A and B are shown apart, each in its own frame.
Chain A
Amino acid sequence: MISRQLIHTFFSVLLLLGMALSLAAHAEDSADASQAKQLLEALDVRSYDAKGEAIKQLAQSDLPQKGEWLEALRDGRLQRQKDGGRFVIVESDQGREWPIKDAISGEELGTATRRDLDKVRINNQLRSQLQGLAATADLDSPDTGRREAAAKRLIGEVDETTADSVAVRLEQETDGDVKARLRTALGLYRLEQGEADAIDTLRGSLDPAVRNALRPIAAGDGPLADEARTALNGIEQKLKFNRWLQTLYFGISMGSVLVLAAIGLAITFGVMGVINMAHGELIMLGAYTTFVIQQLLPGQPGLALGLSIPAGFLVAAAFGIAIERGVIRFLKGRPLETLLATFGISLILQQLVRSVFSPLNRSVVTPDWLQGSLVINDALALTLNRLAVIVFCLIVFTALMIIMRRTRLGLEVRAVTQNRTMARAMGVKAARVDILTFGLGSGIAGLAGVALSQLTNVGPNMGQSYIIDSFMVVVFGGVGNLWGTLVAGMSLGIVNQVIEPWAGAVLAKILVLAFIILFIQKRPRGLFPQKGRAAE
């Protein structure tokens, strides 16, 4: 009873709060709107002197839209509808039908032709005034993102009209990133003016404009050229380091995919000694589960993705258990036959998916919060979806480790692996352990599929492209060793990415395969061979 009341009050308070907030926002909006309207009206006067005044006023105001307006005015895209007198911004004046939006609210208003609109006219003097103002206007914005974007635009664009105001802003600026950009912008301007100490401010900047500016100077003679050369060298070093980090990142993300794909196999192949050639297709089923759930929940890719994690696990685990019960259990102790039979199953599953979903690749929507990237600097950006896959892989790996080391199931699995007969004699139900182990391994394949759907398209052939790689990872790492799988997967991923730039993707893959084939000759039991009783 009490709890219900509590919830009730809670919601009422929430509701009230929301109403208050929206009212306040509304009031602010309308105040802004009337001020904005006044400023715009002031622009649309006959006298160019008065217009100049109005532009100054606008630049000094703290309207969020002012940067956009100044730019539009400069380019002649700030116009007024003949019918109703509303101020609009022409988004593109290509062709006959121009897309327009409301200048104040930013609302899209469809299209208009030249005849429906009146341009707010300016002359050359105003144009040069606007040039500087438009570039720096956003620097006053309270939003750090906007300020940074404006500062980034300024790089290479600073001239004598804006240099002073940029310098002033640099003094006032508090945010480190914006400051760095402004310093670069100003440094480039000073460099153009031939100031030698400007190079110091440019050292270590990864902006391509800096490299372009330094290169011609470095090619010349004299002390300035030497300075420029050392600065350029420093930048190149830093750039190389960042590229190296980027390669490492791609390598780790590819390695995570390999680990996710292989770790289920490491359980079924390594722990149970069962070759499951349909493992790739279980990955595919996980990916298709994500696709289907997304189709069922249109417009909510985030929720769908969240749901597909358990669903992908369950679907793949169910298929895996069906395969174990229906086929593999009759082929105990005949690994080659198991291999063939499960290969047959993989063909059937592929064709099943082709018949049900069409042979074409399907794309799975990535939720907003997984799109985009974590920008570290100009040369290094970590894409969020890959980051998520890396984290996911580590979580799955840890969970699996805990299951194998700390739970009853893990204990029984290890017992059955080491000595099946003895384990049975001690009362372990080997058949049940088989089912659960196989379900677990297959379920993890499903999870790999869910993760993969965020990186590539989902198609009936996707399983096949992973099966050989997965086997390579397991064999390379040492059968029956989960740590080995992790190390092998990660290192193969990284090696692949390191070779790729100079050998091409295909050749890189061939080289890695050739390397593993040779490696197995040297160490047939992989990187981390099992020792003691566990080894046969």
Chain B
Amino acid sequence: MMQDVQTTSLFKERSTLLVLGALLVVTVAVTLANLLPQGHPLYVSTFTVSLLGKYLCYALLAVALDLVWGYLGILSLGHGAFFALGGYAMGMYLMRQIGARGVYGNPELPDFMVFLNWHELPWYWHGFSSFPFAMAMVLLVPGALAFVFGWLAFRSRVSGVYFSIITQALTYALMLAFYRNEMGFGGNNGLTDFKEILGADVWAEDTRRTMFIASSVALAAGYLICRAITRSRLGRLCVAVRDSEARTRFIGYRVEHVKLAVFVVSAMLAGVAGALYVPQVGIINPDQFSPLFSIELVVWVALGGRATLYGAIIGALVVNYLKTVFTGVMPEAWLFALGGLFVLVTVALPKGIAGLLRFRQGQARTAASRQEAKA
């Protein structure tokens, strides 16, 4: 079993090819359809393109969570925090690009700082006018937080529900902190009113298309990274830790190092997802830190199917599509549906949609082999 996982190349794996292929097809098709003239029956509006881009960012976030939850058995109820931190890093870059075009026309300070009567840029805002620096921060800030938090938690063997609850407390505390104006991140309005990214107008159709394609590429890359990790020796160690932590430790592995490494990678991926999300949505505010968002994304993964990675993508797309539909048609029913989904998935569908697919496949296979046996 172990052998055949390692011998086939990553790019010859059926599930990987399917995911990459589907992503490629969707991306190309949507981009082309968006390029059609507006009256055309196959035309896809730029709004829809951005919406899909948003879904893809969520899917990347879900993949990142699946890496730690599905393979490592760590349920983080604070992954939204890493997503939001990445988003804020990107938002800060975008704010610096506004320059003197803000409402107050201050070339140095963002509008909300002028409004708060601040006279100079806080030290932590320096450097964010440079795109490479901002992108480095998108990776480093969530990574550093995950490293410190994970190091503390895993070293003292906080695990299971305890870990879940303190990650929730973490994102809750961050949410409260970011709601404060004194933090210098725009308080409860967050960062918004972006003008341009890398010199291109944020709201132009070309830019939106490019960002959609970038999200798609990022998702593909994120998926490949996670898949590569899970197929590697490290990946199998993860599964060992998940299934029997004590035994793995006794065999001689440093369990906390395994956990920490994977947790940090996952946080960085979440940060990238957040960074791509912000310019497409046009705003980042402390709501992204809310425990509700973090736990909602857990249900994406649970619905899609844990420890499959592609399941996380399916789950994120399905739940968010449902959310868009529900909130449009009957907003008050959405929480009923979401709540019901939580219960349904945990009680009736523990392996999620991916589990259903596999079950079908398995059934087909056994049927086929029976036929062969008969013949």
Contacts and interface: CB of A to CB of B under 8 A. Distances in A.
Interface stretch (B2-10, B52-60, B116-124, B340-348): B340-348
B318 to A, nearest CB: 16
Contacts of B160: 335-336
A521 B158 contact: yes
Interface in B286-302: 291-292, 295, 298-299, 302
Interface in B128-165: 149, 152-153, 155-158, 160-162, 164-165
Contacts of B332: 351, 354-355
A330 interface: yes
A507 interface: yes
Contacts of A335: 160-161
Contacts of B152: 517-518, 521
Interface of B is mostly: helix
B60 to A, nearest CB: 21
A511 B373 CA distance: 67
Interface string A92-106: 000000000000000
A396 B298 CA distance: 36
Nearest to A474: B165
A340 B161 CA distance: 11
B336 A521 contact: no
A468 B168 contact: yes
- Chain B CB within 10 A, most for which of A351, A354, A472: A351
A348 B336 CA distance: 5
B23 interface: no
A415 interface: no
A153 to B, nearest CB: 43
Given A339-B161, A340-B299, A524-B162, A516 B339 contact: no
B215 to A, nearest CB: 27
B239 interface: no
B180 interface: yes
Contacts of B319: none
A354 B336 CA distance: 11
A509 B166 contact: no
Contacts of A334: 346
Interface in A312-347: 327, 330-331, 334-341, 343-347
B24 interface: no
B180 A507 contact: yes
A521 B156 contact: yes
A70 B88 CA distance: 68
Q: How large is the interface on A (under 10, 10 to 19, 20 to 34, 35 or more residues)?
A: 35 or more
B263 to A, nearest CB: 15
- Chain B CB within 10 A, most for which of A331, A340, A472: A340
Nearest to A336: B75
A11 to B, nearest CB: 55
A382 B157 CA distance: 44
Contact of A340 (B149, B156, B335, B342): B342
A520 B156 CA distance: 8
Contact of A348 (B164, B172, B340): B340
Interface in A477-523: 506-507, 509-510, 513-514, 516-518, 520-522
Contacts of B153: 521
A340 B340 contact: no
Contacts of B165: 468, 471-472, 475
A464 B335 CA distance: 14
B341 A344 contact: yes
Nearest to A275: B161
B175 to A, nearest CB: 10
Nearest to A273: B161
B72 to A, nearest CB: 12
A350 interface: yes
A339 B170 contact: no
Contact of B172 (A351, A468, A521): A468
Contacts of B173: 509-510, 513-514, 517
Nearest to A330: B347
B158 A346 contact: no
Contacts of B295: 340, 343
B176 A506 contact: yes
Interface string B315-358: 00000000000000000100110111111011100100000000
A296 B295 CA distance: 37
A23 to B, nearest CB: 62
A472 B169 contact: yes
A354 B333 CA distance: 11
A344 B343 contact: yes
Contacts of B335: 347-348, 350-351, 354
Given A340-B298, A351-B332, A506-B180, A520 B162 contact: yes
Interface in A339-386: 339-341, 343-348, 350-352, 354-355
Contacts of B71: none
Contacts of B155: 521
A520 B342 contact: no
B179 interface: yes
A297 to B, nearest CB: 30
B177 interface: yes
A352 B336 CA distance: 8
A346 B170 contact: no
B300 to A, nearest CB: 12
Contact of B347 (A327, A336, A348, A464): A327
A523 B176 CA distance: 25
A346 B298 contact: no
- Chain A CB within 10 A, most for which of B156, B343, B350: B343
A516 B169 contact: yes
Interface of A: 275, 327, 330-331, 334-341, 343-348, 350-352, 354-355, 464, 468, 471-472, 475, 506-507, 509-510, 513-514, 516-518, 520-522, 524
18 contacts: A337-B350, A340-B346, A341-B346, A344-B342, A345-B339, A347-B335, A347-B339, A348-B335, A348-B340, A355-B332, A468-B169, A506-B177, A507-B180, A509-B176, A517-B170, A521-B158, A522-B156, A524-B156
Q: Which 3 A-B pairs have the closest CB atoms?
A: A344-B342, A347-B339, A348-B339
Given A340-B302, A341-B342, A346-B339, 11 more contacts: A331-B346, A336-B160, A347-B336, A348-B335, A468-B165, A471-B165, A506-B179, A507-B177, A513-B170, A517-B149, A524-B158
